[in-house]
Amino acid sequence: MSSNFKAANSVSGDVDGTGMRIALVCGRFNDHITNRLLEGAENALAVHGVAEADVTIVWVPGAYEVPMAALALIENGHADAVVCLGAVIRGETSHYDFVAGECARGIQDVQLTTGSPVIFGVLTTENLEQALARSSDEDNKGEESVRTAIEMVNLLRRLENDEQA
């Protein structure tokens, strides 16, 4: 059921990254996927106006280490937002469950603790084919994650300044 309700105060972010400092934290494990996500992220940064000089790329061993690097980037003032990229592909052991869950929890903890956008662009897939599909030119989660980061920085800035969209 639809309604004609219109909120008096509506705030949203846009995807203009001009002047924004964005960091990308990339897990090396499954780097054949992470590199594809990184390429999509770099394309989105350029399209949305983020200058190359305002981009920091950090590589860590794997998805489990991503949250710590994200925290260091935010705490040390290197970025307005961090985009976390990696790939955890289910295997024959329970290792996937521990890594994927703890990576997601860690990223969320950093975001909520620091008050800065830290975006979960880590693929958690059942198989390689799914990871390839989500890191393709047609559907690249790295690109999508950058748009989310830029939108969230702008949204938080508007909320901080009590602006209305």
Q: At residue 32, what is the residue type?
A: H
For 124-164, write each residue's pLDDT tens digit: 999 999 999 999 999 999 999 999 999 999 999 999 987 55
First CA to last CA distance, the chain: 26
pLDDT of 106 higher than 70: yes
- Tally Cβ neighbours within 10 Å of residue 94: 9
**pTM (2 d.p.):** 0.92
- Which pLDDT score, from 0 to 100, does residue 1 have? 59
For 3-22, write each residue's pLDDT tens digit: 777 676 778 889 999 999 99
- Which pLDDT score, from 0 to 100, does residue 6 have? 67
Task: Indicate the range of 9-13, 41-45, 55-59, 88-92 predicted with least confidence.
Answer: 9-13
Residue 25 contacts residue 83 (beta carbons within 8 Å): yes
Q: At residue 144, what is the residue type?
A: E
Catalytic residues: 95
- Which pLDDT score, from 0 to 100, does residue 95 have? 87
Domains and CATH numbers, the chain: 22-158 (3.40.50.960)
pLDDT of 2 higher than 70: no
Give the burial class of 129: count Cβ atoms within 10 A of its Cβ; 0-12 exposed, 13-18 middle, 19 or more buried: exposed
